[in-house]
Structure formats: C-alpha cells, structure tokens
Chain A
Amino acid sequence: MSTQPIKFYQTGTFTVGNRLLESSERAVQSNMRRTNSLNSGHRACRGCGEALGARYAIDAVMQATQNRAIAVNATGCLEVFSTPFPETSWQIPWMHSLFGNAAAVASGVAAAMRVKKREHVRVIAQGGDGGTTDIGFGCLSGMFERNDDVLYICYDNEAYMNTGVQRSSATPPAARTATTPAVGKHPGNPFGTGKNVPLIAMAHHIPYVATASIANVRDLEAKVTYAMSLRGARYVHVHVPCPLGWGSEPADTVKVARLAVESGLFPLFEAEHGEITGRYALRRPVPVTDYLKLQRRFGHLFGKNADPAAVAAIQAMADRNIEHFGLLEPTQ
C-alpha cells in the first residue's frame, strides 16, 4: 500500500505553477518576479498567441542568462504591436532593423560581443514565420551554416498577420488567407506547398533545434533554457495561434494550440546536431477535425460544401507525423 508514488495530480504536472513544488521546480511563468519582457500595454489583439509565446520564451531566456541578453527582432506583428516608435513594451535590450535580416543583425551583434570580450551577453533573434521562413530565410541559413552564437526563435502563426493575413510558406494546406481565398475547385492554400523550417534547420547540423507550443509552457521553457546552455546556432520554432488570422475565439488560443499538438499536426520534438533526441508523446490524441473546426480559416472544409477529401488529406499529414516522430510511444 505504501509504494504508491505521490505526484502532484491536482496542482499540476500540467499547470503553470504548483504550490506544492519547490519554487526552483516551478515554471518561470509562475514566478512573481518573472521579467515580463513584453510588458502590458502592447497592441496585440485579444488572446494573441504570439504575445504569449514571446513572453514565455524571452522570460525563460532572461532567467537562464541572469538578464544578460539582447534581442534582435524582425519586422512583423511582434515588432509592430510591441514597438510603435517611440514607445515600446519591451523591458530588455531590443533592436529592430528590417523584415528579412534579423538573423544577420543578430550574427553581427554576437560578433561584436565576441570582439568586445562580452560573450557572457547572449544574443537572441526572433521573428514571425514570414520573416523567418520566407523573407529572412537566406540570412537564417547563413547564420546556421556559420554556427553563429545566436538563438533564433520563430513564432509561427502560419501567415503574414500584420499586413492582413497573407499566405506564407508556413501556411498549412487548405487554410484560407487573403491570398489563398476559399474559392474555386480547391479552396484555400494548395496542398503540396510550404516548407518545414525545423527540419531544414536540422539539415544544417546545428547544435540544437526544437519545436514548442504555447500550450505546453513547461516544455517550451525547458527547451529555451536548454538552448541557452549551449553555444553556436540554435533554433526554436514556437506554434502560436492567431485568433484574428485563423478565425478562432480569443479565449480558445491555448486550446487551439493544444489541439494542434494532440492531433499530431504540430509535433513537439528536439534535435541536436541533426539527430532527433526527444519528442513529446501525445497525452490525449484527437482527430484533426477537433482542431480544424475551431478555426474559420478551415470553415469551408465543413458544412454545406464540405470537403471530406481535404480533411482526410490533413488527417493523413497528422498520421504521418505521428508515425515519423513516434508520437504515440510513451516517453520515459
């Protein structure tokens, strides 16, 4: 009878905090003295996933570096809603140059730190999926292949939200955007397009690559913290739902992110030097329809002119991820 292990069932293996745990074992986000890198008063929409993801990631960076970090930001929602000149929500050293050159600027800042023998000051670059997977992709790949000492964080909301929801190379198939309207024979973003930047980053054999989600803050923080313990080029790709662009309820942002993970459409994994070293096993697997139906950008797949073939194709994508990453095998 006395061999039953005591766990923190009620107070959370899964919640942000836990009053029964030592404070050193709790999430950064449960700390009363977290940095709040991205402060109140920013102009992000209600329920913005990117604002949440950025605070999660950068607060973890600040804790891991004892507040010695500089962030370079690409153009995009994150820059526009946080820093309409001359005002800013950031409470960290932060700079913005252009849409496509965040990785290059960060490489330069890292080089400057090296020359000035201030290598204890760490460098972060961050941007949305547009600035990362499309416009800034060349600079990013260069930063990877030179193995510059930068952690690049991509907040992936799967389209250009800042300019009015245009398609990016991270937009999923069938999703409606301003440039892939839900009209015609195959409405929404065509199947067979887009790219998987975490896998491309792994192909550079850089020290660390990880995917993360705002639905799992402890996992996200652990990955960012681990990344900060390493030197060289590192990449973390964070899935951040956008209520405006995806047509989901602001209150559902975390739920939508959770369903993306649990359906297998957004697998959580980490890799070192091009080899997968860890993955998150699905806890309560769901069909992709649970995820799709919460978003109006997929609304044309259901209802009067339903497109079961497209839904099946999306389910097949999820099944492939589950198979490829072994998402149903229990973790140790």
Chain B
Amino acid sequence: MKKPFAITLDPGSSLANKTGTWRTERPVYLDRLPPCNDACPAGENIQGWLYFAESGDYETAWRALTKEDPFPALMGRVCYHPCETACNRAQLDEAVSVHAVERFLGDLALERGWDFPAPQASTGKRVMVVGAGPSGLSAAYHLTLLGHAVTIFEAGPMAGGMMRFGIPKYRLPREVLDAEIARLERLGVEIRLGARVDDLEATLAGGGFDAAFLAVGAHVAKRTNIPARDATKILDAVSVLRGMESGEAPRLGRRVVVYGGGNTALDVARTAKRLGASETVIVYRRTREQMPAHESELQEALDEGVMVRWLNTIAGVDETTFTVEKMALDASGFPQPTGEFETLEADTLILALGQNADLALVAGIDGIAVADGVVSVDERMMTGRAGIFAGGDMVPAERTVTVAIGHGKKAARNVDAYLRGAAYAKPPKHELAAFEKLNTWYYSDAPKTIQPTLDLLRRRSTFEEVTGALDESTALFEARRCLSCGNCFECDNCYGVCPDNAVIKLGPGNRFQFNYDYCKGCGLCVAECPCGAIAMVPEEI
C-alpha cells in the first residue's frame, strides 16, 4: 500500500502486538443453571422459554415449554411453582410470576390451536400406560414423541386423574383440562376409558406391549378411628371431590367440619363453602406453620370465610356435637394432647387425612416391591420387574401434579432407553447461577404483576375460576422481569466494557466469542455481566 510521506505503518498497526500473552486468567462463556429450572419438578427450561416470551415470540416460547411439559395451561393454574420460591429476582424485588406467564402461553396456544410437532418415525414398539392422570399422560406424551405407540388404560370414566377428580374446577376449569388432553390425543395417544387393568401380566402379553408405565395414583382415602354414633354423617374428601365431577353433588348440610391440613382439606372446605355451607371449619392438629397445604391456598380459603382450628383433634362425635381436644407442641414440635376439651356443632364431618394407593394391580407380580404403601422404583423409575416402570403418587415422592408430570417424563426417557437396549444418560447439571453470580445493577426495579382475582362474593357461591389471567401486555411485562440467570441474553455488556476490543459480537442469536490474541484477562466482562454467564479460569502455563 502506498503511504504518504514519512508514514510507514497502517492505522491500527498495533494489531501486531498480541496482548493476549499478558494473561494469567481467561474469561470463558458458560451457561449456568437458573434456580427456577433447578427447582422445577417437571424439569422445565423456564429461563429458556421466558427468553422467547420476552420478545413476544409466544409460539416459540410455547414450543420450548412443551418440550418438557405438555400442559402449560393446566400447570400454569395448579402448579405450586417452586420455581418462584427459588427465583433470584425475589432477592431484588419480587419473584417473576412464572406460573402466570405459563398460563398465558397455555391459554394462547388453546386459543390459536397450536398443536404438538409430529412424532419421530415409528419405532414399532408398543407401551402401555396405566392411569390417565398427570404422570401417565406426561409419559404417554414423551413416549409418543419418541416414536413409540402408546395406549393408556384408565379405570375411570374420564381422563385427568386427580386433576379432574381431586382439583376443584374453581382452580382448574374443565374446558382447559379437556382441551389439553384432546391435544394429546390428536398427537396419537390412545386413551381407553373405563378400562381397569386387573391382570397386568395378561394385559401386557395380550396387547403385545414391550413395556409398561404404571401411574394409578392414590385415590383411597385414609381413615382414622373416631368414636362416633351411627347417625353422624362422615364422608371422605376424595369421594366428595369425585362426586362433584360425576354430577352427584353430595349433601353436606349447613355446618361442615373438615379434618386434616393438606391441600385436599382446603379444596374440600372451599368446595363445601361453594355448595352453600354457612360454616366450614378445618380442624388440624398442628400449627399454621406446620400445615402441609400451600400458603397461598390457605390464604384464599381464609378469604372465602373458611375457618381453621389450629392444634385441635377430634376426640369424638355424638350426632351433631363434636368434641375437640386442644393440643400443644412438645419440645420436638409434635402435637401432644392437653386434656382440655371443647365442643362444636356440625352436620357433616369430612376426612381429609391423605390417600393410599390401590396397589392390587401389582400384587403377585414377581420382583415388584411395595414399601410403606407405595411401589419401590430405582433411579430410572423402573420397578424390580424389568420393563415395568411406575411413577406419580404410587411411588415414594411428594404428591403434586408437577412432580407427577416430571415422573412421566423421566420414566418416558428411561422406557425409551430400555426399549432401545441402552441406558438413558442424564445430561450433567450445570453449576447453579446463584444470586452472588449476578450483577444486579443492570436490572431496574419492576414489581410483580398481580393477577386479578374473582370477587369474594362470587367465590363463596360459584365454581368460577378464582384467579384471573394476565393479558398480553402484562404477560410480556412479567416475562421481561426474568433476570436470565446464568444464561447470556445478549445485552452486549461484555462487548461494550472490554478495553481491548477482545470480545467479538457474532450477531443476533449467536452470542459472543473472545479474541484471546488480545484479551489481557482483566475480568471486566465477568464483573459487568448482569446474569453471570462468564467465568474466569486460570491459564495453563
């Protein structure tokens, strides 16, 4: 190149000076595990789908979501969202309302008629699933996508399991449940209703199935021994809630006592209120802090006028007179009787003391072990009998819809591996994107969007859905509150703050790359990355 007089080098000729040799540590891009994803029992990539929702690309967001979980509209309503408990944003202002955005995406998908992608090429393998509850449906979904032919055997008259027969419709409208199950059937899942499996081995062999996934749930109400006269009306919560679905609304009377402290106790108490009970009292033997029910549901029940007697047990019932005994916590936190008694008047007692699984199905099958009323499974969700897997409420785990859906997915992956004669290798977990990894200066304050709730008067008298939906603008706002913990969201901070221009921007969607020829290893990019997606590692010398 011809240069002007006395000029010997090009502009920018310092490029010959490779300052990367100064470095003792190098920055590397990485994806850390967002706390929401870490906490999700269904293994959703929450940060991942929120990323698409933030730009208004709701269909891509919904498709990313349904890679893990086939029921966003449903889960956005009934999941107790452990993701929000774990959310880093809670330490800044309030957690991102993940469930509200999930529900928005789910409802939008139903409105626009988005369907699942076509399954992979058929493997020729057949899998039977017993039980059309959340776990069975989830397993069927994933197995179908993987190319296996799935048939679900459901003993009941309708699919949905506890989502239909346990969760009242003011929390989960049935048209939502029906629509999401219908979409699954359009994918090619066969659901046989009223098809109780009595002889598992015979059904397996007779149907030519290569594997089975059992998810019969836990529907048998636990009883307790309460001295009572015959005239006392004692029901169990599961039967009451099931009766609501089969159109035989039970007669409960004006004054109802519910015995128990779980979510089912609250569901049945709130149902009783809606059926016209003027007084609904929950009797629970421990304290509010010890109650296994979810706090938000307790609050909603209290708002609706449900009363709770903490630290009380029912000692006896004489027609309509209930004798309750006060309890006191001992040093180890267990309730102990105090010998102090009170009475209250009620027409009906509903027991909500938990449920047992009906395991007649596996009785007598070689290798299948039962302990504490549930079926033992290994880390693959497989029972002691090769090819028979189990999940949901019938195996040892927390009993929630979300856990059940997670079991279904996990089992499906292992069933698939089993059918291919391989072992399913779980991808390794990334390091957690803890709050300390973030530089929160770059996020501005934005309080959570509150979902509208139904008027209290109507909540006491109707079964309309209590919690309302976010509209598009509020859902978008909420999605954009995500901090994208541990995963690059292309904010350009690293590209901007490098004093040595040693960060190469690769363009939208392609993130960045370091130019180690010039990176001096100062670490500014790491310090100023808002979401903790860069780490310094020592150079090998």
Contact = CB atoms under 8 A, between A and B. Distances in A.
A11 interface: yes
Interface residues of A, number: 58
A117 B276 CA distance: 90
A7 B473 CA distance: 11
A7 B450 CA distance: 17
B490 interface: yes
A43 interface: yes
B480 A11 contact: yes
Contacts of B11: 39, 88, 90-92, 94
Interface stretch (B361-369, B419-427, B519-527): B519-527
B442 A15 contact: yes
B524 A4 contact: no
A2 B471 contact: yes
Contacts of B471: 1-2
B491 A18 contact: yes
A169 to B, nearest CB: 26
Interface in A240-280: 243, 249-255, 258
Interface string A188-214: 000000000000000000000000000
A217 B491 CA distance: 13
Nearest to A83: B14
A88 B528 CA distance: 28
Majority DSSP secondary structure for residues of A touching B: loop
B473 A47 contact: no
Nearest to B496: A16
B232 interface: no
A39 B449 contact: no
Given A40-B515, A41-B19, A88-B11, A32 B505 contact: yes
Given A40-B14, A41-B19, A250-B522, A10 B493 contact: no
Contact of B496 (A27, A41, A89, A253): A27
Contacts of A12: 442, 491, 530
Nearest to A6: B477
Interface stretch (B288-296, B337-345, B394-402, B481-489): B481-489
Contacts of B91: none
A251 B524 contact: yes
Given A16-B493, A41-B19, A88 B55 contact: no
A293 B22 CA distance: 27
Contacts of B442: 12, 14-15
A135 to B, nearest CB: 25
Majority DSSP secondary structure for residues of B touching A: loop
B480 A254 contact: no
Contacts of A43: 14, 17, 19
A252 to B, nearest CB: 6
Contacts of B444: 7, 9, 13-14
How many B residues touch the partner, as a band? 35 or more
B121 to A, nearest CB: 36
B172 interface: no
B430 to A, nearest CB: 20
A39 B12 contact: yes
Contact of B14 (A2, A48, A82, A252): A82
A248 B477 CA distance: 38
A284 interface: yes
A10 B481 contact: yes
A19 B474 CA distance: 20
Interface in B1-56: 8-9, 11-19, 22, 54-55
A15 B473 CA distance: 23
A10 to B, nearest CB: 5
Contacts of B491: 11-12, 15-19
A131 B78 CA distance: 67
B281 to A, nearest CB: 35
Given A12-B491, A41-B15, A51 B496 contact: no
Nearest to B470: A1
Contacts of A38: 501
Contacts of B12: 39, 41, 88-91
Interface string B454-490: 0000000000000000110110110011111000011
Most buried by A among B8, B449, B517, B520: B520
B377 interface: no
A246 to B, nearest CB: 14
B303 interface: no
Given A4-B477, A10-B481, A52 B17 contact: no
B527 A14 contact: no
Given A40-B518, A44-B499, A251 B492 contact: no
A252 B527 CA distance: 7
A42 interface: yes
A47 B522 contact: yes
B493 to A, nearest CB: 5
Interface string A138-164: 000000000000000000000000000
A163 B18 CA distance: 24
Interface string B409-438: 000000000000000000000000000000
A250 to B, nearest CB: 4
Contacts of B526: 251
Interface in A40-62: 40-44, 46-49, 51-52, 55
Nearest to B7: A86
Contacts of A4: 449, 473-474, 477
Given A17-B490, A27-B492, A32-B507, A39 B473 contact: no
Contact of A8 (B13, B14, B17, B480): B480
B470 to A, nearest CB: 8
A46 B476 contact: no
Contacts of A25: none
Contacts of A32: 505, 507
Contact of B16 (A87, A217, A243): A87
A179 interface: no
Most buried by B among A20, A38, A40, A249: A40
A286 to B, nearest CB: 11
Contacts of B524: 47, 52, 250-251, 253-254
Contacts of A255: 527-528
Nearest to A52: B499
B449 A19 contact: no
B521 A7 contact: no
B499 A47 contact: yes
Contact of B476 (A6, A16, A42, A86): A6
A29 interface: yes
Given A15-B442, A91-B11, A52 B480 contact: no
A9 B447 CA distance: 11
B443 A10 contact: yes
Contacts of A7: 444, 446, 477, 480
A36 interface: yes
B474 A9 contact: no
A30 interface: yes
Contacts of B252: none
Given A4-B474, A19-B490, A27-B492, 19 more contacts: A10-B480, A11-B54, A14-B443, A16-B491, A16-B497, A17-B490, A20-B55, A30-B505, A39-B14, A40-B14, A40-B501, A41-B18, A42-B500, A46-B22, A89-B14, A94-B11, A250-B522, A250-B524, A254-B524
8 contacts: A7-B444, A11-B480, A16-B496, A16-B497, A44-B499, A46-B521, A86-B8, A258-B441
Please list the 3 inter-chain residue pairs (A to B) with the smallest Cβ-Cβ separation, ordered nearest first. Answer: A17-B492, A16-B496, A251-B523
